[in-house]
């Protein structure tokens, strides 16, 4: 149980940090020009916090816990995490592309690639931390 808590909190801390870094470097150059017509003027932080809590719980249940139980390789952990990221971010992006004016394929593809890379990397980090403790 302690191992899972360390894994959950390490992913819970690292995803927002890495996501903030990503969005901080790409928002004005990539996202804003493509999403300006659907962006809110102010960020609502409660949904963001709820997303990170829920998403990290999904990473814990579907990637980290099985990896710790079966001592899988870090490559396998990364790939399972990346797949979960592709599914999670793909659900968001493709739904937006289907329902929002101006949501482009390039926006969906870049964001899905980021979600895959982010989730795979954070999954590996969380498993390494959990195995260390």
First to last CA, the chain: 11
| Reported pTM | 0.92
Range of the structural domain that residue 48 is part of = 2-132
Concatenated DSSP letters for the chain?
-HHHHHHHHHHHHHHHHHHHHHHHHHIIIIIHHHHTTT--SS--HHHHHHHHHHHHHHHIIIIIHHHHHHT--HHHHHHHHHHHHHHHHHHHHHHHHHHSTT--HHHHHHHHHHHHHHHHHHHHHHHHHHHH-
- Of the pLDDT bands very low, low, confident and very high (cuts 50, 70, 90), residue 36 is confident
Please write the tens of the pLDDT for every residue from 73-107: 999 999 999 999 999 999 999 999 999 998 999 99
If one counts the domains in the chain, the total is 1
């Amino acid at each position: 149980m302690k191992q899972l808590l360390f894994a959950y909190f390490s992913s819970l801390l690292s995803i927002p940090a890495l996501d903030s870094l990503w969005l901080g470097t790409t928002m004005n150059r990539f996202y804003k020009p493509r999403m300006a017509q659907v962006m809110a003027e102010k960020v609502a932080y409660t949904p963001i916090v709820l997303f990170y809590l829920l998403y990290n719980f999904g990473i814990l249940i579907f990637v980290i816990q099985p990896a710790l139980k079966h001592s899988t390789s870090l490559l396998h952990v990364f790939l399972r995490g990346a797949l979960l990221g592709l599914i999670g971010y793909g659900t968001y992006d493709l739904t937006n592309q289907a329902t929002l004016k101006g949501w482009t394929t390039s926006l969906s593809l870049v964001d899905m690639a980021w979600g895959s890379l982010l989730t795979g990397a954070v999954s590996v980090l969380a498993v390494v931390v959990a195995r260390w403790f």
